[in-house]
Structure formats: structure tokens, C-alpha cells
Structure 1
Amino acid sequence: MRKGIIFVAAAILSACTGEVDDLPLTETDATPAGIIGGTIDEGDPAVAMLQITHGDSSTICTASVIAPKVLLTAAHCVQPDMVEGATVRAFFGTDSRSEEETWVNVAETHFHPEYDHEATHAGHDIAVAILEEPVAIQPLPYNRAPMTEDRVGEPVRLIGFGDDHEIFGWSGVKLHVSTIVSTVTPLLLGLGDADHHTCQGDSGGPALMDVNGVPTIVGVTSFGNASPPSICTDGWHTRVDLYLDFIDPFVNAP
């Protein structure tokens, strides 16, 4: 049975106040992964910001349109203690502080049944958010071919709305950076180098590689190590190719 939580987003949308993702650290000081070494991304309309609001406090993650009403994101962004009783909405645009951009409420969230928030390194950090209404944005394709170690060294692009170390915690501005695949494991992708990777607020965002000439989601930003805790040093991403059985039913739903 698919595990998850379903809720109806509030009709009245609150202001975007934001704060640092406050999920617990693991024993290895892993923290939810903002773009380090990147630049403002005025393209990629299918990449959205997720805002999870409890009262006057908000947290952000990143997500990708993979069907008109379906966003792909990270499980730790929508686990029960994050979304229960919250207003969740998605922002489509470059700068979430702009009043001219588009916000759409989220109606449901579902996370992978094997995800364990106390064992992020064990993988399965993948989820979907179902929008209240479809968006007229071309969905991003997601990878269906096995990722193998021979992809190490190949180019990849990371996108997110998170911390760039100039605005610690989150920026609310879409950033991107081009880097390389550094590691492929049976569960995860290590992407980037010391100066080009993800950080807080980018959780759930896409890692894009060209597949037959088409930018395709190969990974979902999951976590990064921080040393000291305020400085992100690397980024790890959930392999999308391992979770087609979880993703496809939502994409193919009528």
C-alpha cells in the first residue's frame, strides 16, 4: 500500500516568510540540501518552489513538473510532520518575492513507503505533490534508464530555490549550476564538486542530464554534508530510475 498523507490546502494564501529547513541531522551531519556556485535561472519553467507554511513560519523545497498536476520532489519535504496542518503551495517563476508570478495550491502529497527520515542515507527520499489545478507548463521527462558508474564525469545541471551561502537558509530565487556526476551508488548520485553543488532549500529539486538530447531528471536533491553545519560541502540525490513503479501511477492517473 502506498504510504503518504493527503490534505486540502487553505484557500487563503499567506505571505512567504520562510526559514531554514529544520529537519534533524543524521549522525554524519547530513542536512537537507541551495545552489552553491550557481547563477539566477530565468528559464526552466517546470522547476517550482514548494512552500510549506505553518502559521507565520514557512519552509521551502524545490520540485519539478512531471505531469500537468504532478510535481516530483523529496520525501523529507512532505513527510507527515512537515505537511500535517500546513498550507502547501507551489511557486512558478524566478523570484518568489515578485507579486507578478504564479502560485498554485497543493491538494495532496505522497511519499515513498520505504522512506525513513532517520536514515536519509538509505535512500527512497522521493515524493510527489498533486496540484489543485493543472499548469500549462511542458513537463520534464524523468530518467528510465539505469544509471551506471560509467556516467561519472558526465555533465549535469542542478536547479533549486535554496541557500547560496549569501542568503543562508533559503533565497526564494531560482538558481542553477552546471557540474558533473561525481559518484553513482546503488541508491544515490553524488553530484558536483567542492564549489558547485546543492544546499538548504534545494531539496526535491532536479538534477538534469541530456538523454538523447533532451534535459531529463536523473536525480532528486536529497541531502548534503555540512562542515561546519552552516556551510554545505556536497550534495546527494535520489536516483529517479529506481522509482518508476512509484512515480508512474501518479503521472498516468486520469
Structure 2
Amino acid sequence: MDDLPLAETDEAPAGIIGGTVDEGDPAVAMLRIYPEGEDFGEICTASLIAPKVLLTAAHCVTPEKVDGGTVTAFFGTDSYGEEGFWVNVVETHIDPAYDPTNKQAGHDVAVAILEEPVAIQPLPYNRVPLTADRVGEPGRLIGFGDDHEIWGFGGVKYHVSTTVHTVTPSLVGLGDRDHHTCQGDSGGPALMDVSGVPTIVGVTSFGGVQAPSICTDGWHARVDLSLDFIDPFVNAP
């Protein structure tokens, strides 16, 4: 596990609108994706769901971004600091039901396979159909993305407590204008209690962006619709 620095900056930027720095949630990682031939990469967020398997967003690891490029995962709070560690990603796989031209249809789900197992307790993911009666219940969002002031590099883990406002046949919406996800939080977990256990119910997928640089909302692909895709990777020997 190599400690690979990100771009240098005088001040680490924030992420998650309305959130605070998250010193816990060790299973939530940052992905740094460098496409082939590119000097600068992009950030996404991911969740450990098995010792070598990360759950993230399909649009983060499309073939044009990862084929021939480099993907690494950071486990820790501040990727600009001295604590935490990096692990190489050796494979990525996208839910075959994902349609990049229609994120409202959900299935913006992918897995990233790590080079070596990580000794962190994985997060459970939801296996129960998500229904509209969950609207109004509490949830939590976690990500390494930008804040609403300036789109920067991201790289610090933030979280925010909020509530579910919508459940559609393919998506779950959490938060309000002041408490939600932003650029770089894609792939991160939308958590709710399922049978009393914090559980991934959605993968951060997309949001409305108000020009020039204000993130305004966040929508999350329901994981209960992608079990046939996810389970074989989690259950692989």
C-alpha cells in the first residue's frame, strides 16, 4: 500500500454541502482516477463492501476514464495529510443496466477491485426494496468532494446528517439545498438505518448544478436494484 500524494495545495478544500469533517467511517474511501495520458485526475468516493471490493458510481469508472489509466483508493480522512493509506485498484466493473444518457433510470453503480484486501469492517448494502414510506426518515451522506464555494480538488472526507425527501423506482433523494452532496462525492454512500444498522441504500449519482459553481442537490442510485450485479463480486473467493 503506497502513500501517494495528491496535488499540493495550501488549504485542503471541503466537501459535502453543510457537512463537517468525518474522522470516522473508515470503510468510506476516495478514488483518484487518472485517465491514460492525463496529468490531472478526478476524484470520486467509494464504500468498502468486502475486503477487496469497493462500491462506487458507474460514471466514475467508465472505460474512457479507466482503460489504460490509473485508479487508486485512499482510506483515511485527509488525503493531503500524513495519516491514511493508498491501495491500487486493479479492476473496475459497471452495472450492465447503467445508461449514461439516462441517470434518472438508476443503476449508476460500479465496483472497484482492490489489489489487496483491506483490514476494515465493510459496510452493509441494502437488500430490502426501498419504498416511499421511508420519506422523512433520517439519513447520512459521506464524500470527499468539493464544497459549494469553489470547485477544487476535494480530498477531505466530510459527512452530513439529513433526511430522505423522495423515493422513485430507481433513485433515492436525500437532503435539501443546504445539506447534500457535491462534485467529487459521486460514488459515495447514502446511508439509512435498516433493521437498526447503518446501511448503504444509495450510491451518489448526480445533482443539479447552478452556474457558475454551486451544487444544489443530490440523487442516489438505489442499490437494492443492483444486487444481481453486486453480489457476485462480494461473494467471490
Q: Same fold (TM over 0.5)?
A: yes
- 1:36 is aligned, of 12, 17, 34, to 17
The structure-2 alpha-carbon separation of the partners of 1:116 and 1:232, relative to structure 1 and needing over 3 Å to count, comes to same
% identity of equivalent residues: 75
Matching of residues 117-128 of structure 1 within 5 Å = 117-128=100-111
SS at match of 2:182: coil
| Structure 1 residue 116: Cα displacement | 2.1
Which ranges of structure 1 fall in alignment gaps of 5 or more residues?
1-10, 19-33
Asked if residue 222 in structure 1 is aligned to residue 205 in structure 2, the reply is yes
Alignment partners' CA distance in 2, 1:166 and 1:225: 15
What are the superposed Cα offsets for residues 74-113 of structure 1, whole Å, 9 maximum, x if unpaired?
0000011111121100000000011332000001000011
Structure 2 equivalent of residue 45 of structure 1: 26
Instruction: State the distance in 2 between where 1:177 and 1:47 align.
Output: 14
Measure the CA separation in 2 of the matches of 1:98 and 1:53: 20
Q: What's the secondary structure of 2:214's corresponding residue? A: coil
Q: Post-superposition shift, 1:14?
A: 5.8
How many Å separate the matches in 2 of 1:15 and 1:175? 19
- Which of 65, 69, 72 is equivalent to 1:82? 65
Question: Amino acid of the residue matched to residue 48 of structure 1?
Answer: A
The separation in 2 between residues aligned to 1:203 and 1:169, in whole angstroms, is: 15
Alignment correspondent of 2:115: 132
* Structure 2 residue aligned with 1:199: 182
Specify the alignment match of 1:250 in structure 2.
Answer: 233
Code of the aligned partner of 1:182: H
Shift in CA distance, 224/89, structure 1 to aligned 2, threshold 3 Å: same
**Unaligned 5+ residue runs, structure 2?**
9-14
**Cα pair 2:43 2:154 within 8 Å, conserved:** no
2:221 partner SS: strand
Contact 1:157 1:207 (8 Å CA) reproduced: yes
Determine the structure 2 residue equivalent to 1:29. Answer: none
Q: Say whether 1:184 aligns with 2:154.
A: no
How many residue pairs end up in the alignment?
229
1:161–1:170: 8 Å Cα contact kept in structure 2? no
> What CA deviation, in whole Å up to 9, does each residue of 1:36-74 have, x standing for no partner?
000000000000000012442110100000000000000
Give the conservation status (yes or no) of the 8 Å contact 1:169–1:201. Answer: no
**8 A contact 1:17–1:58 mirrored in 2:** no
Q: CA RMSD in A?
A: 1.6
| CA positional deviation for 1:188 | 0.5
CA displacement 1:222-245 (0-9 Å, x = unmatched): 000012251111100000111111
Partner residue of 2:133 out of 150, 161, 172 = 150
